[in-house]
Structure 1
Amino acid sequence: MRAPPHACAPQCEMMSPVTAPLQATPRLIATDLDGTLLRDDKSVSDRTVTALAAAEEAGIEVFFVTGRPARWMDVVAEHVHGHGLAICANGAAVVDLHRGRSFTEVRPLLEDDARAVADLLRHRAPGTSFAVERTGGIHYDPGYPAFHLDPGATTAPIDKLLSDDHDSAGEPVLKLLAHHPDYDPDAYLAAAREAAGHVAEFTRSSHSALLEISATGVSKASTLARCCAAREIRPEEVIAFGDMPNDIEMLTWAGTSYAMANAHPEVLAATTNRTAANEQDGVAVVIEQLLHGL
């Protein structure tokens, strides 16, 4: 049996970052939140707050790039400077945290594609339950493990949630979530991609068998690339941080990328550079080192 995704030896958690030769003077830092910038209690440490502010003061933009929905961004909203933007829902939305978490760009999953994915997954993995994340909130299939942060969510069968007569039908779908109570998380992702990867994008960021499903071509990397292109920032001018499979495309797109010491094995395999675990403020460690060398 493989080790849990975030398991590593104690000495790994205390490691110093690899000094990566920068491809160009950095202009943008892109960082995941959970398991990366945030500590395990979902807080932002004082050290990290100071490092982010120092990066912005040095003229380096910071983008939070997360699977979280806009309504879960309170923990970092006050730490976005300048542009005020964050990339949420694995790239399906760009959100202005300075303006009440308003959406500045949405890259939706079409209802027809969401329905097709649901049908294919129910056939491939009986027992799968779903949730639909829309711009206005989340809605659950019966049996789906509800998030404690969304006590007002509605519940109905997935076919009803994706029907034209559901109360939320006018709101774009940011992502579909699929959960299975028994599957190994990595095996579930592989099975889902095989069954429905031609319809949508599949990834995961949870320790459980919970899949996050976006429109074809939508990812953290593709939306970050769009935001950077609008600013005439090249990939080699970007430094990225992450820990889970939904970060891999972003980490491989950025000119310089760091896997957290607590990262999933696939993330560690996809990156060259390492930093300390999220509990040891690994993102701040690299930013401090970076600013010291500028």
Structure 2
Amino acid sequence: MTGVSAVVTDLDGTVVRRDGTVSEATLRAAALLFELGIPLVAATARTPAGLRALEPLRPLLSLSVCCGGAIGVGPDGETTAWREDLPPAAIEALAAVALARWPQIGVATYDGGRWRMTERYLATRHTRHFGPTEVCDLDAVLATPACAMALVHPRLEAVDLMAGLAGAAGVSLTRASAQAVEVTAAGVDKASGVRRALLELGAAPERAIAFGDMPIDVAMFGVVGRSVAMADAPPEVLAAATDRTSSVEQDGFAAFLSRTGLIGPFL
């Protein structure tokens, strides 16, 4: 595999294992890309704080797409390359519709530095949020300018919530996990973030390759020349990818890059 302009990868479930660690094989693959001068771009639902928690992978990243495309982070892990805020009216309207339909729904917003969440959200979603968090009433959650929003329900899955909120104005809805719906501004998703990152790096999208394992990754598959789904990805992700590889627990990222000759055999 020659002529690759950049490698783009989701983090959790793709190069970050269930225990939150990155394997030595993955780190070695990332280091070899660095040595070859091939940019490695992370595209993740994680916030910048969640990205900074991934040492020693983070220093090997040329640019990072965080919050599902809403924030770009420079190679130092600190500098904000871009930020796309949700329109305040869209946040309020979406929350009003969601709460009218499902009074038990949990709501959280992220302002670029802190998650603010309702008690219902905290009680329902058990995924770790990196960086500062604050539990407060709904008015406070919705009052702060935000670049990302999350919705969860104690019994319904993300697909059910998205179906009930289809057509909401001013926002993009993405299934970040089986349980959680991630909300960004209209037109902002991993695809828009990856396009922007590749443009900043001067990397041709048609010669880039992307790895992912969840429905949130399907959008970015459409903006690169080659896409790779992890073996345990849902059927719609496998169907959207041009290739597949073994799971994160089996070092699928490193194995694919080695097997196709981009970084040479080393496993």
TM-score, L = length of structure 2: 0.89
Q: 1:240 to 1:84 in 2, by over 3 A?
A: closer
Q: Quick one: which amino acid aligns to residue 108 of structure 1?
A: D
1:66 to 40, 44, 55: 44
Match of 1:107 in 2: 84
Q: Secondary structure at the match of 1:53?
A: helix
CA distance, structure 2, for counterparts of residue 88 and residue 81 of structure 1: 15
Match of 2:139 in 1: 159
Deviations 1:68-108 (A, max 9, x none): 01111134343245774211100110113525x23221111
2:214 to 240, 244, 248: 244
CA distance, structure 2, for counterparts of residue 195 and residue 120 of structure 1: 11
CA distance, structure 2, for counterparts of residue 203 and residue 54 of structure 1: 32
CA distance, structure 1, for counterparts of residue 263 and residue 201 of structure 2: 25
Report if aligned partners of 1:27, 1:59 keep a CA contact under 8 Å in 2: no
Match of 1:185 in 2: 158
Match of 2:57 in 1: 79
1:183 to partner: Cα distance? 1.0
Match of 1:33 in 2: 11
Report if aligned partners of 1:44, 1:75 keep a CA contact under 8 Å in 2: no
Match of 1:230 in 2: 200
Match of 2:170 in 1: 199
CA distance, structure 2, for counterparts of residue 291 and residue 102 of structure 1: 29
Q: Name the count of aligned residue pairs.
A: 261
1:93 to 62, 67, 71: 71
Report if aligned partners of 2:6, 2:41 keep a CA contact under 8 Å in 1: yes
The answer for unaligned runs of 5 or more in structure 2 is: none
Q: 1:183 to 1:253 in 2, by over 3 A?
A: same
Match of 1:218 in 2: 188
Report if aligned partners of 1:260, 1:277 keep a CA contact under 8 Å in 2: yes
Q: 1:231 to 1:150 in 2, by over 3 A?
A: closer
CA distance, structure 2, for counterparts of residue 36 and residue 213 of structure 1: 22
Q: Quick one: which amino acid aligns to residue 160 of structure 1?
A: A
CA distance, structure 1, for counterparts of residue 87 and residue 214 of structure 2: 25
Report if aligned partners of 2:205, 2:225 keep a CA contact under 8 Å in 1: yes
Q: Quick one: which amino acid aligns to residue 252 of structure 2?
A: G
1:292 to partner: Cα distance? 5.2
Q: Secondary structure at the match of 1:113?
A: helix
Report if aligned partners of 2:30, 2:60 keep a CA contact under 8 Å in 1: no
CA distance, structure 2, for counterparts of residue 245 and residue 216 of structure 1: 17
Q: Quick one: which amino acid aligns to residue 163 of structure 2?
A: A
1:264 equivalent to 2:237? Answer no
Match of 1:176 in 2: 149
Q: Secondary structure at the match of 2:19?
A: coil
1:288 to partner: Cα distance? 1.4
Q: Quick one: which amino acid aligns to residue 200 of structure 1?
A: V
Report if aligned partners of 1:30, 1:241 keep a CA contact under 8 Å in 2: yes
Match of 1:139 in 2: 116
Q: Secondary structure at the match of 2:121?
A: coil
Q: CA RMSD in A?
A: 2.2
CA distance, structure 2, for counterparts of residue 92 and residue 221 of structure 1: 11
Match of 1:18 in 2: none
CA distance, structure 1, for counterparts of residue 182 and residue 86 of structure 2: 11
1:57 to partner: Cα distance? 1.1
